[in-house]
A and B are shown apart, each in its own frame.
Chain A
Amino acid sequence: MSALRILVPVKRVIDYAVKPRVNKAQTAIETNGVKHSMNPFDELSIEESVRIREKKSAPGGVEEILAFSAGPTKSQDILRTAMAMGADRSLLVEMKDGEDLEPLGVAKLLQKVVEKEKSNLVFLGKQSIDDDAGQTGQMLAGLLGWSQATQASKVEFKDGDIVEVTKEVDGGTDVVRGKLPMVITTDLRLNEPRYASLQSIMKAKKKKLEKSTLGDWGVDGTKRVKTLKVIEPPPRQGGGKVDDVDGMISKLKELGAL
C-alpha cells in the first residue's frame, strides 16, 4: 500500500458556542472582536489523521500530515493548533481582510496543493459551521476525479490501497469502498478530538508554517455568488410557561397543535 500523504484543510470560523450577530449594515455577520476557533469538523479531520499514524492502521504507514488553510493572517493560530494536535507542517494562503473564497475557489486551490504536495488522501470537515455549504470536499474530489466518501463515521484501511468508509446517511449508515487517492469528509461521530498539551503546543511552534498568496498558486478567487443582504431570522417569542401537564395540554389544544 502507498504511504499516506494526508492533506487536512482547516478553516478559521467564529467559535461554535458564540451566537452570531448580523452587522448594522446587514451585509454580513459581525466578526470583529468575536472569538474564533478551528471549524469543529476540521478538528475531527486532524484527529483522524493523527490516529491513523498512531494506531498504524494504514498498511503503508503515514508519511506526512500537512495542515492547510486559506484565510486572514490570524488563520495561523488554527494551523498552530493543528500542528499541536499532530500535523507535521502547514501551509497558509494569506488573504486580505474581508477577502474570502467560495467553496469552488477553495476546491480549485486545494487541487493545486494536492498536485504540488503529492497528497493521496484529503480529510475535510463535512461543512464549515459559518457558511454551512457542505461542498468543498465533493468539489475537490470532482476536480481531481478521485473517489469520495462524505460524512464519514468510520475509516478503515485494507490492502491494495482500499479504504472502507462508513458514512452517515439519512436513516442510518452506508458503507462504501474507495481506492486511494481519495477525499473523505468527516462527521461528528468519527472521533473525539484531543486537547493539545502544553508540551505539544510548545513543540508546534518549531514546526514549519509556510505562507503564500492566492496569486502564487495561480488561482482566480473571483466570486460567482454575491451576498445581497444578511438579516436576523424573525425572532420567536417564547409563549411563557404553564404550571402543570393539564395546562400544557390545554395550551397545545388552544394553539391547534393537538
Chain B
Amino acid sequence: MLSRAGHSILRQARTQLRTQAGPTPVASLSALARLLSSLAVLEQKEGKLNHGSLGAVTAAKKLGGSITAFIAGGNIKSVAEEAAKVAGIEKIIAVDNSAYDKGLPENYAPLLVENIKKGGFTHIIAGHTAFGKNLLPRVAALLDVQQISDITGIENENTFVRPIYAGNAIATVESSDEIKIITIRGTAFAAAAAEGGSASIEEGVDPKIESHTEWVSEDLAKSDRPDLATAGKVVSGGRGLKSKEEFDRIMLPLADALGAAIGASRAAVDSGYADNSLQVGQTGKVVAPQLYLCAGISGAIQHLAGMKDSKVIAAINKDADAPIFQVADVGLVGDLFDKVPELTEKLKK
C-alpha cells in the first residue's frame, strides 16, 4: 500500500511539473498530500455483474490514483470474484445482503455513505443509468456534496466536462467539494476489460438501514437484439412509421439485416409504436454507435441530444428540409415505406 501511495504521489508530481513548466506553487502541495482514491460503484442483477457499469472503472483510471470497486447484493461472492478480474481495480468492497438486490436508494445510499466514510475515498463514480441516477444524488445529499451528473470528460481531479441544454452546450465545471460524486455517460467511457486484474476482496460495512420502500415487480422488454445503449449499430424509427404494425413490419427486418438494436423517437414512443425503453434523446437513452440509421425522424433537438455523437448517421425522410439532414452523413429523401424495405433487401444480399 505504501509503495503504491508513493508511486501515485510521484506520478502526480510529475504531471504538475510537466504542465506548469516552472516551480510548483505552494498551493498544490496540499493537493499532493491528499491522495486520490476512487470508488467505482458497480451494478449487478440476479448474481450477474453488469459489464456496462465497468465504465466507472475506466473513468477512475483517467483520474489516476487507486481504484476500489463497490458491489452489494445477496450471494455476492461470485459477482465480486468476477469483478476482481477486471483490469485496474485494486480492491473490491463487497456487501452480501439481499436487501440491496434492487438498489433501493433508501437503504443503499446509507450503505454507500458508510463505506465511503470508512474508505476515505475522494471520488465516487457510477454510471448515469437508472440505478446511478436514482442512487447517487441521495448519497451526495447525505454527504453534503454537489453531485456532477453525466460527465463526458475528465480534465483533472476537480474539473469535469458535461453536456447541458440537451447537449447543445458543453460545460467545463470545477468542484470545490472534498468528495467528488460523479455519474458518467456510458458512451463516453467504455467498459474496462473484464480480464487481467487480480483485486483483493474485502467485506464492506453494512449499516442495515431499513428501507422505507418496497420493491414490488418489474416489467422489462425482452429482446434478442443487442442492447440499445451499447449496440454498434442502431436503427431508429419515428412518427413517419404511422403505426405500431408498420413500425414492426418496416423496422424489425432492417434491424435484423444489420444486426442492429432498435431505437425510436419520442413521437413514435408517445404514439405507442415502440416501447418507452427504446426512446433515444435527451429524456431517453443516449447512444453513440458506429452507425445510426433513422427513418421517419425529423430530428428535433431533444432527439439529436441522444444520438449526435454517433460515428455515422444515415437518414431516410421524405421531407428534404428536415433538420435531421443537417447532421446526417448520408441522407436519402424519399418515402420510407419504399426505401427501407428496398434497403433491407439489398443489405441481405
Residues of B within 8 A of A258 (CB): 291, 347
Closest 5 A-B residue pairs measured CB to CB? A138-B137, A142-B141, A172-B220, A239-B329, A139-B141
* Contact indicator A134/B149 (Cβ below 8 Å): yes
Give Cα A247 to B320, complex, Å: 16
In the complex, A246 has a CB within 8 A of chain B: yes
- Can you list 28 A-B contacts with CB-CB less than 8 angstroms, sorted by A residue number? A19-B168, A102-B146, A104-B140, A127-B283, A130-B165, A132-B163, A133-B147, A134-B133, A139-B140, A140-B141, A142-B137, A142-B139, A143-B141, A148-B106, A168-B277, A173-B218, A174-B219, A175-B218, A177-B214, A178-B212, A179-B212, A225-B177, A231-B170, A241-B320, A245-B343, A255-B330, A256-B312, A257-B290
C-alpha spacing A174/B130, complex, angstroms: 10
B172 CB contact (under 8 Å) in A14, A126, A170, A227: A227
**Residues 106-129 (chain B) with a chain A CB within 8 angstroms:** 106, 109, 129
Any B CB within 8 A of the CB of A169 = yes
Q: Which residues of A contact B (CB under 8 A)?
A: 14, 16, 19-20, 22, 29, 102-104, 107, 126-127, 129-143, 145-151, 153, 164, 167-179, 187-189, 223-233, 236, 238-249, 251-252, 255-258
Q: Whole-angstrom distance between the alpha carbons of A233 and B166 in the complex?
A: 11
B34 at the interface (CB under 8 A from A): no
Bound CA span A104–B331, Å: 44
Report whether A226 and B176 are in contact in the complex, using a CB–CB cutoff of 8 Å: yes
Is the beta-carbon distance between A129 and B141 smaller than 8 angstroms? no
B332–A224 CB distance below 8 A: no
- Distance between Cα atoms of A103 and B148 in the complex (Å): 10
Q: Is the CB of A175 within 8 A of B217?
A: yes
Residues of B within 8 A of A179 (CB): 212-213
Q: Which residue of A lies closest to B347 (CB)?
A: A249
Q: Which of A171, A225, A244 contacts B176, CB < 8 Å?
A: A225
A226 to B171, CA, bound (A): 10
A interface SS class: mixed
Assess whether B213 is in contact with A149, with CB atoms less than 8 Å apart. Answer: yes
Q: Say whether A249 contacts B343, CB under 8 Å.
A: yes
Of A20, A136, A229, which contacts B165 at CB under 8 A? A20
Given A132-B149, A224-B145, is A238 in contact with B328 using a C-beta cutoff of 8 Å?
yes
Q: Are B216 and A175 in contact (CB under 8 A)?
A: yes
Tell me whether B141 and A248 are in contact (CB under 8 A).
Answer: no
Q: How far is the CA of A188 from the CA of B283 in the complex (A)?
A: 8
The CA of A170 and the CA of B229, in the complex, are separated in Å by 9
Identify A153's interface contact among B159, B276, B302, CB under 8 A.
B276
Main secondary structure of the interface of B (DSSP, over half): mixed
Assess A29 versus B291: contact at CB under 8 Å? Given A147-B106, A176-B104.
no
Q: Which residue of B lies closest to A188 (CB)?
A: B283
Q: Is the CB of B218 within 8 A of A172?
A: yes
How many Å lie between the Cα of A153 and that of B269 in the bound state?
13
For residue B347, which residues in chain A have a CB less than 8 angstroms away from its CB? 249, 258
For the complex, give the distance between the alpha carbons of A232 and B283 in Å.
20
Chain A proximity mask over B287-315: 1 for CB below 8 Å, otherwise 0 = 00011000000000110000010011110
Instruction: Please report the C-alpha to C-alpha distance between residue A179 and residue B159 in the assembled complex, in whole angstroms.
Output: 39
Q: Which residues of A contact B4 (CB under 8 A)?
A: none
CB A110 to nearest CB in B, in angstroms, measures 11
Task: Evaluate whether A172 and B275 lie within 8 angstroms (CB atoms) in the complex, with A138-B137, A142-B137, A248-B314 already known.
Answer: yes
Total contacting residues, chain B, CB less than 8 A? 87
Known: A135-B147, A150-B134, A170-B129. A16 touches B142 (CB 8 A): no
- B221 adjacent to chain A (CB < 8 Å): yes
Complex CA distance for A176 and B325, rounded to whole angstroms: 42
| Alpha-carbon separation in the docked complex, A173 to B106 (Å) | 19
Residue of B nearest to A233 (CB): B170
Residues on A with C-beta less than 8 A from B328 are: 238-239
- The residue of chain B having its C-beta at the shortest distance from the C-beta of A136 within the complex is B137
Chain B residue with the shortest CB-CB distance to A14: B165
CA distance A241 to B146 in the complex (A): 45
B328: nearest chain-A partner, CB-CB: A238
List B contacts of A189 (CB < 8 A): 276
Closest residue of chain A to B326 (Cβ to Cβ) is A238
Give bound CA distance, A29 to B144, whole Å.
Answer: 27
Is B144's CB under 8 angstroms from A104's CB? yes
Known contacts A138-B105, A177-B216, A238-B326; A103 and B137 CB within 8 A of each other: yes
Q: A16-B302, A174-B215, A246-B346 are in contact. Are A104 and B172 (CB under 8 A)?
A: no
Q: Please pick, from B147, B165, B218, B219, the residue contacting A29 in the complex, using a CB distance under 8 A.
A: B165
Extra pairs beyond A226-B174, A227-B173 (18, CB < 8 Å): A20-B165, A20-B169, A107-B141, A139-B138, A142-B138, A148-B213, A150-B134, A170-B129, A170-B285, A172-B276, A176-B216, A179-B213, A232-B168, A233-B167, A233-B168, A252-B291, A255-B312, A257-B311
Over the window 78-91 of chain B, the binary record of Cβ atoms lying under 8 Å from chain A Cβ atoms (1 yes, 0 no) is 00000000000000
Query: Does B333 sit at the interface, judged by CB under 8 A?
Result: yes
Residue of B147, B172, B177 touching A228 (CB-CB under 8 A): B172
A164 to B334, CA, bound (A): 46
A177 nearest in chain B by CB position: B214
A164 to chain B, nearest CB (A): 7
Separation of A90 and B170 alpha carbons in the complex (Å): 34
Instruction: Give the distance in Å from the alpha carbon of A56 to the alpha carbon of B247 in the complex.
Output: 38
**With known contacts A133-B147, A238-B327, A151–B130 Cβ distance under 8 A:** yes
A166 to chain B, nearest CB (A): 9
| B199 to A: closest C-beta gap in Å | 26
CA separation between A100 and B157, bound complex, in Å?
25
| B254-273 to A contact mask, C-beta < 8 Å, 1/0 | 00000000000010001000
